Amino acid sequence: MRIDVVSIFPGYFDALELSLLGKAKQKGLLDVRVHDLRDAAHDKHRTVDDTPTGGGAGMVMKPEPWGEMLDGILAESPTAAASSSAPEASAGTADTREPSLGRSGATSGAEPLIIFPSPAGEVFTQRMARELAEEQHLVFGCGRYEGIDQRVFDEYSGRGRVRLVSIGDYVLNGGEVAAIAMIEAIARLLPGVVGNPESLVEESHEEDGLLEYPSYTKPADWRGREVPPVLLSGNHAAIDAWRREQRVERTRRVRPELLPRELRGESRGRHAAD
């Protein structure tokens, strides 16, 4: 998978060199390229922002550096159908393309998908991570300040697939940390990135949507806190049943909205324990 990232703080993405993802890059499973948006700002101060038209607080990212940067990235896309024509040049050919899939950006694959991390976007989930792991080329456009000039989204959703994606209901200073979270969630699903693929299926939010069971290792007694005896029993059916029950009860307690319909309602385990 190829991933391009555009940011005014490329240093954030040094974190991607560490651990699992660094190894994935070394193995050639993942090709991440980080671009400094200011390289596409050509005035003396390499300006990327300006005051909001119509007034208001904060600053807005100017469209021109984004246009130059994204045009360059799309022109170099390893995918076959990369749309590379500039607006002036595309006037006569624009109608020959498929109609835009717009924000929904459905259908995976053959052309780049541009993701703008934004608190105003659809919420990133494990399901979306799985979907995005099927893509050949992702481009993350990380905005700062009050956001990016709307015409950048309009331009690229008119030419290809664009999605605005949020990582949750809270506000970050920019898209960088959100992009790192999404890239990690996506990249670990690529074949060969996680050493033991079985460790992918038992996790929270995978398979049945329940949260993970609690894990223990040695020693069996630590500061008087004992490992649950069932885990030392060697009875694998009993262990599986215990873990399942832990997952259901933890989900009921912490994230009841994730519980599958058939498990909603009255708590189990109460009858025996209380």
Q: Is omega for the bond preceding 219 within 30 degrees of 0, making it cis? A: yes
- 3-state secondary structure string across 161-228: EEEEEECCCCCCCCCHHHHHHHHHHHHCCCCCCCCCCHHHHCCCCCCCCCCCCCCCCCCCEECCEECC
Number of residues that bind ligand 6GU (CB under 6 A): 12
Kindly report the backbone phi and psi dihedral angles of residue 161, in degrees, each rounded to the nearest multiple of 5, phi listed first.
-100, 130
Q: How far apart are CA 204 and CA 243, in angstroms?
A: 13
Residue from 30, 70, 178, 210 binding ligand 6GU (CB under 6 A): 178
User: Would you say 216 is a known binding-site residue?
Assistant: no
H helix or E strand, kind and range, residue 252:
helix 236-254
170 binds ligand 6GU, rule: CB under 6 A: yes
Q: Is 166 in the site for ligand 6GU (CB under 6 A)?
A: yes
Q: Which is closer to ligand 6GU, CB of 168 or CB of 214?
A: 168
- Interface with ligand 6GU, residue 175, by CB under 6 A: yes
52 touches ligand 6GU by CB under 6 A: no
For tokens 């703080």, name the residue.
9
- 36 annotated to bind ligand: no
Query: In the complex, what is the shortest distance from the CB of residue 118 to ligand 6GU, in angstroms, rounded to a whole number?
Result: 5
Q: Which is nearer to ligand 6GU, 58 or 168 (CB)?
A: 168
In the bound complex, what is the minimum distance in angstroms from residue 251's beta carbon to ligand 6GU? 23
Rg of the chain over Cα atoms, rounded to whole angstroms, equals: 23
| 171 labelled ligand-binding | yes
Stretch that binds ligand 6GU, among 35-43, 114-122, 218-226, 253-261 (CB under 6 A): 114-122
Amino acid letter for position 99 = P
Considering only 52, 63, 102, 174, the residue that binds ligand 6GU (CB under 6 A) is: 174
Q: Choose the binding region for ligand 6GU from 15-23, 72-80, 133-141, 173-181 (rule: CB under 6 A).
A: 173-181
Q: Is 170 annotated as a binding residue?
A: yes
70 belongs to an annotated ligand binding site? no
Per-residue binding string, ligand 6GU, 118-157, x by CB under 6 A, is xx--------------------------------------
Residues belonging to the chain: 274
Q: In angstroms, rounded to a whole number, what is the distance separating the alpha carbons of residues 126 and 212?
A: 14
d(CA 152, CA 66): 7
Question: 244-250 contacts: CB < 8 A, separation 24 or more?
Answer: 244/213, 245/269, 246/213, 246/214, 247/210, 247/211, 247/212, 247/213, 248/210, 250/210, 250/211, 250/212, 250/213, 250/214
CB of 171 to ligand 6GU, least distance (A): 5
- The site for ligand 6GU (CB under 6 A) is made up of 117-119, 166-168, 170-172, 174-175, 178
Provide the annotated binding site for S-adenosyl-L-methionine: 143, 167-172
Residues making up the annotated binding site are 143, 167-172
